Amino acid sequence: MQRNQLELLTPESWSSYELIDTGGFEKLERFGSFVLSRPEPQAIWPKSLPDADWQHRSHAVFKRDKGSQEKGEWVLRSAMDEKWFIPYRSNGLDLNFKLSLSSFKHVGIFPEQAVNWPYIHQKVKQLPVEKPRVLNLFAYTGAASLAARQAGADVTHVDAVRQVISWSRENMEASGLDNIRWVVEDALKFVRREVRRGNTYNGLILDPPAYGRGPEGEKWLLEEHLSELLQACAELLDRQNYFLIINLYSLGFSALILENLMRAHFGERPNTEFGELYLIDGFAKRLPLGVFYRFSSI
């Protein structure tokens, strides 16, 4: 039997975002008018630009707290806005995202995910369903939710952090959209309940972290809970008209591990793609930023 081949996917050029340089376990990025320097554990190669250029260009640099892999603080090198918006206008989508400097080095958007937004928009449009139901789990600030909603889907957006849900709502309003269903809950708990209720969805979008906490202290560990989550999602996915996307960012999970998991729970599916997501910096270095698996009935 012919197996699907591992793919490498990167988004199309986006005027509001630029990966300027990578290396030395860091990345230099432009988001709209502002340039940021952040840690990047996979950028183990040398920088192409000298440190002086990085310092000159950066409006802010993220410095990790001692002993922490994620938490830290931003050191401002130039005046910049506390929050700002950038547009995404491509492939029939017209969205706006609020950005802000967080204590976990994130800014409100994962640029490599721009490869999935047109896919979601297109699949929702193509499904032979009047108003496809889409469930976005671990939905963060909601770029995927907006892509589905702008295509006409009935969207349920689930995240465990109330402040992130508020951020998502700002993005929805800035994009001229409405009527997304917001759910502040542990994703696995929500999915279990939906299965018991017999609910189904035409689209499933999953961005599970390596670890996390639910709003009531529920513990999420990717290696312990992902298989159970996928089994439940297999019951939630509509039998005839569907699409599914899952992204993983944990360094311990390769694209082949994800392929084995998905085949175990979903079997052979049409139009399957899987592989690595990456961004290209200004010196043609390719920065890997997670693995993906997606399929659809159309």
Angstrom distance (rounded) from CA 142 to CA 145: 5
Q: Please report the domains of the chain, with CATH numbers, ordered by start residue.
A: 6-296 (3.40.50.150)
| Phi, psi values for residue 88, rounded to 5° | -130, 110
Find all residues with CB under 8 Å of 235, minimum gap 6, and list them: 195
129 closest CA partner among 107, 148, 152: 152
* Residue-level pLDDT at 45: 98
Distance of CA 80 to CAs 86, 87, 240, Å? 14, 18, 49
Angstrom distance (rounded) from CA 98 to CA 68: 26
* Tens-digit pLDDT string for the chain (298 aa): 457 889 999 999 999 999 999 999 999 999 999 999 999 999 999 999 999 999 999 999 999 888 776 789 999 998 999 999 999 999 899 999 999 999 889 999 999 999 999 999 999 999 999 999 999 999 999 999 999 999 999 999 999 999 999 999 999 999 999 999 999 999 999 999 999 999 999 999 999 998 888 888 889 899 999 999 999 999 999 999 999 999 999 878 899 999 999 999 999 999 999 999 999 999 999 999 999 999 999 9
* Residue-level pLDDT at 5: 83
The DSSP H or E segment spanning 109 is: none
Angstrom distance (rounded) from CA 184 to CA 87: 26
* Residue-level pLDDT at 22: 98
């402040």: which residue's tokens? 163
* Residue-level pLDDT at 1: 45
